[in-house]
Structure 1
């Protein structure tokens, strides 16, 4: 028995020794660079962790490989913790093995990855052609695979976590290509069938704004897109869909039309709310003062929002009683709060006419009482035109002095010969046309018309002397007095035939002539040089005869006086 026992112990010792050597050899095989083994924490230092990987071997792992999700060093590492590590080098100068926990984790992930698998990842950064994604290892997400439609601003996706599908995998090169678009397309296709089954006209559904255009917005209803036209977005004015919607917004819309065969859907947003025009007539009766915000300006007027969906137009002609407004922006700006008066309603065509000037009294209704005809006013020249000057009469009211009312006698070719802007002018109110808003003034009416006394002062036969002001083919104009001219017709220049009046006299010369005729209606004086000699002779004869008559009269008076005296003396005897 003893012998057998000793043989048995010898056999067991040999067997144990063989088993231990096998284990040691196996552990040495495992402790080769590039292998992944299980390590146990034996010591935690401030900058590293000492790990026992078996085979009487220990290694160091930098502390910065033990990070949490926030990128901070973990504080709960303790002796006895076990995890996979990658052997980088079997032994360094200190006799320790170089280990890496990160690379072991990464290799483990790589081993688990396969093409077509769905993984979660966080977008790290933008790189050329797309985005870098952390799925445990770095992967590439091409820009074309980010979404169903091109994403203009990829930066907004940084830091976000999504699900991706692996579409290319090359472990040897370490390349992974992801796609989010493939998953979205699959998801969209699954939703499409359900959406088509439940969609009905008149139904209110929730959708996501997918894309904006100038004419509307495309709304994703769940696998199928519907068009929300710009005219169906609001009862009010919408200049562009981006004014009220943004890509990604979730909104409720009403299905207006649905063509199931062509899978076309027309949507409405404004139809969810009641039509505000139904009670416009009651809310905004004609003549009522209303307040609103200027939302748009055009060449012909300003659109004012009275409430959401209800706008009125202030035409440019209804902005001022007195000023000629060339463009509404001279009076109003977009965003202004304005008070106006409702002038007219056209409910079928959804139009409201508003008046801005009607808020204030019409100055033309009282100007006649303030400035009755005949009133002398004083004002500045505001404007000069070919046909006259405009003079400021009252606030916003200008009066016109027509060129014909500037002077009784002077021929004015253009008002600028006499006046300039800013000159202070006195004038007489001639007429007020309230209906056409015209105020007529006269300057010449401040003095009497000299032509009223011309016939008395220049009777036919009167000899005058004046300066030549103009010579024409038909005669010579002679200034009789300041501003008053007479015409010596070519036939009245000489008894002898002359070639041209221009050969007879020049501008600036003094000439004598006799008055033939005065026409106060046409304001013309006909003169003659041809009859001047005859008139002078007649004047001399008249003067002579007048002298004789005076002499005879004086002689008779003397004779009668002498006789009277003689008779008196005789009576006295």
Structure 2
């Protein structure tokens, strides 16, 4: 490889030459050494040797730095904030661009390139472009200056009220999507927020990115604005039909439908009713008689179930669903067909320490405590009198539809039967020629009848 040059030979006169080391040839790094060949300029003489056969030493960078400092001093002593200067785009960075103002640089920040949102400098300026810029601030001691391209144009917020009003509908561009809404640019330099609550009539607890993306064109309506804070409130949903305004007429209470579970929790589930409107099903509304501990036992997300609408509240935007209301309430049927004091048959399903569990009409479960069982005495074990599968008769003591509780008493039934036997015996004895009877006669007769 060709060795890199370390310096230049500089011709001072016809007799004398000098050396300028490459590091002292320019104020910037010399990437192309050939580019300076033939350049005529001033140099600072650092070392002079009178012997023509030996070379002196010169420094061009020191001379240029002195010239630049002089230009900087003159420039910074003459400018004021608000002045307009001309410069050439020298380089681009992630935060803006550096502008060559004649040997020294000024910064054009991204935020000062346009009244609108700028994410990349190359979208506004390009290297080598000559710009007229306004001075926004400078530091004379450290020779730093900040420039603005946007301030060469009027601030659009200054004339906002002349061009916009509350209720006005505008087509804008989505510039940013966040978890609480979307920012929409209605013109360069003016953005408004459409809060998540103003994006949809029916969607709840969703990510705005599900609906909108940067650069989307959207139609928005101005709800309000604050010029001092440069804030605008926008709405999208108010330009759309509110499905809740007609939901009660389209899906009245009593409407039956097959719905898909879109979200299943431990004690409840949401089913899709129409579009983005969901209905709520509580675990308590699955069955009149069967108890579920977890909603996942009944349904999983994506599965379809038959439901009926039991409540529609457009104001609070809620729909309540039920599965058990697809059929009549067996507890209501039981209460109407078996009033207090009537006799009901039940089948023993299990024996417990304090009583027996029974099932009535094949779908209603109840517990008969020991006090209501027909036991010879307190020392008798329940299992000695009752067994699983046994059919027992009992008197209905109470039916609580709301709490789904049935109190059944075989003991009262036995008492009722005994009283019936007594009345029957007394009635039959009145036709007998005998002039008297005793309790012993009654129970003797009962024993013989049995």
Range of TM-score over shorter length: 0.7 to 0.9
- Render the CA deviation track for 1:176-200: whole Å, top value 9, x for unaligned: 9998755642442242233134312
Q: 1:519 aligns with which of 391, 400, 419?
A: 400
| 1:468–1:511 Cα contact (<8 Å) kept | no
Return the offset for 1:288.
Answer: 2.5
Separation in structure 2 between the aligned mates of residue 538 and residue 176 of structure 1, nearest angstrom = 143
| 2:94–2:121 Cα contact (<8 Å) kept | yes
Q: Match of 2:262?
A: 382
Q: 2:173 aligns with which of 266, 281, 293?
A: 293
1:206 is aligned to 2:86: yes
- SS of alignment partner, residue 411 of structure 1: coil
| Count of equivalent residues | 413
Separation in structure 2 between the aligned mates of residue 178 and residue 530 of structure 1, nearest angstrom = 126
Return the offset for 1:439.
Answer: 1.4
Q: Match of 2:212?
A: 332
Q: Match of 1:281?
A: 161
Q: Match of 1:419?
A: 299
TM-score, normalised to structure 1, is: 0.60
- Render the CA deviation track for 1:373-402: whole Å, top value 9, x for unaligned: 333333333332233332222222222222
- Render the CA deviation track for 1:432-457: whole Å, top value 9, x for unaligned: 22122111222222222222221243
Q: How does 1:449-460 map to 2 (within 5 A)?
A: 449-459=329-339, 460=341
1:394 is aligned to 2:267: no
Q: Match of 1:429?
A: 309
Q: 1:464 aligns with which of 315, 332, 345?
A: 345
Return the offset for 1:486.
Answer: 1.8
Q: 1:534 aligns with which of 390, 415, 419?
A: 415
| 2:182–2:208 Cα contact (<8 Å) kept | yes
Separation in structure 2 between the aligned mates of residue 166 and residue 536 of structure 1, nearest angstrom = 134
| 1:291–1:339 Cα contact (<8 Å) kept | yes
Q: How does 1:153-552 map to 2 (within 5 A)?
A: 163=39, 182=62, 184-209=64-89, 219-222=99-102, 225-239=105-119, 244-245=124-125, 249-258=129-138, 260=140, 265-324=145-204, 326-459=206-339, 460=341, 462-468=343-349, 471=352, 475-493=355-373, 494=375, 496-497=377-378, 510=390, 512=392, 514=394, 515-531=396-412, 533-538=414-419
Q: Match of 2:5?
A: none
C-alpha distance 265-541 of structure 1, shift in aligned 2 (>3 A): same
C-alpha distance 499-365 of structure 1, shift in aligned 2 (>3 A): farther
| 1:290–1:341 Cα contact (<8 Å) kept | yes
| 1:195–1:223 Cα contact (<8 Å) kept | no
Q: How does 1:7-156 map to 2 (within 5 A)?
A: 114-115=17-18, 141=22, 147-148=27-28
Q: Looking at both structures, which has the greater relative contact order when contacts are Cα pairs under 8 Å and sequence separation is at least 6?
A: 2
- SS of alignment partner, residue 452 of structure 1: helix
| 2:347–2:360 Cα contact (<8 Å) kept | yes
C-alpha distance 463-310 of structure 1, shift in aligned 2 (>3 A): closer
- SS of alignment partner, residue 235 of structure 1: coil
The RMSD of aligned alpha carbons is 4.5
| 1:495–1:530 Cα contact (<8 Å) kept | no
| 2:351–2:383 Cα contact (<8 Å) kept | no
C-alpha distance 279-504 of structure 1, shift in aligned 2 (>3 A): farther
